[in-house]
Amino acid sequence: MVKPEIPVTLSSSSIFSLSPQHVFPMAEDLGYDGVEIMVTQNRWTHHPSKLDELSQRHSMPIHAIHAPTLLFTQQVWGSAWSKVARSADLARELGAEVVVVHPPFRWQGSYARDFATGIRDIMEATGVTIAVENMYPWRVRGQEIVMYLPHHDPIPQDYDHITWDFSHAATSKIDSLAAIKLLGSRLKHVHLTDGSGSGADEHRLPGHGHQRVVESLHHIAASDYDGAVCVEVSTRGKQYPGHREEMLAESLEFARRHLSRDPEHQGA
């Protein structure tokens, strides 16, 4: 029996230059299975009723909420624990399957120290899966700066669920295929992108970098993975009208081809 196909969703961060309202009609037009909403300063990302209205109007379910745990969203939703708890509440109200969070920054004190336990408490209270995303080392003049505690790599940490990002892996010079195999059932969410291995977090289109993305998707498709794979690429370098849509359509086609659970179609 062929397993159900893996949903391919579109992150609102892939069209970051546009307001998040645009991700729903764009995902619908291109044929995605749903969306991921990154909570930012834009108030549309804070309101479940507005997001649900857009989701219903465009028949685009919200599969994931990305908590505002980035540097540029430090002023959104107050304290670190508030960011995570409110994101879980938002996900629960919208029926989203997972909340994506970044590892704590090194200056976040008790939040960093109690992170794994606190995440479990929020999951138990809300029934929402919270998946910690792999990040990458920061470098200044060739020197690595410790930004995350206990580490930017979540694999050795006591986290139940992980989000894997191929661009972050490239910046960290980590082999995603080996990492995904090691994660096993802890892998709950995937950010589909790519990178060249430079010091920058590039978020290239999948297949446009040096990560073993194709092999990783084949492995995921052959496994019991039951989450979504979310396209999270940079489209800021668009060169002409319609180029962004072409980039996102290419990424979707790449994902569908290499995630197919029908052996006759996979990698065709």
Place 165 in a pLDDT band, splitting at 50, 70 and 90: very high
> pLDDT for 194-237, tens place per residue?
999 888 899 999 999 999 999 999 999 999 999 999 999 999 88
> pLDDT for 242-264, tens place per residue?
999 999 999 999 999 999 997 66
In the chain, the percentage of residues whose pLDDT exceeds 70 is 96
| pLDDT attached to residue 140 | 73
In the chain, where are the structural domains located? 8-259
What class is the 8-259 domain? alpha beta
Q: For residue 28, how many C-alpha atoms fall within 13 Å in the half-sphere facing its CB?
A: 14
> pLDDT for 120-153, tens place per residue?
999 999 999 999 999 999 877 767 777 899 999 9
Rounded to whole angstroms, the Cα distance separating 141 from 251 reads 33
Dihedral over Cα of 45, 49, 52, 56: its sign: negative
Asked if pLDDT for residue 181 goes beyond 70, the answer is yes
Torsion of CA 229, 22, 203, 106, to 10 degrees: -90
CA nearest neighbour of 76 among 119, 43, 51, 35: 43
**pTM exceeding the 0.75 threshold for the entire prediction:** yes
- C-alpha distances out from residue 12 to 37, 38, 233, 241, Å: 5, 6, 10, 19
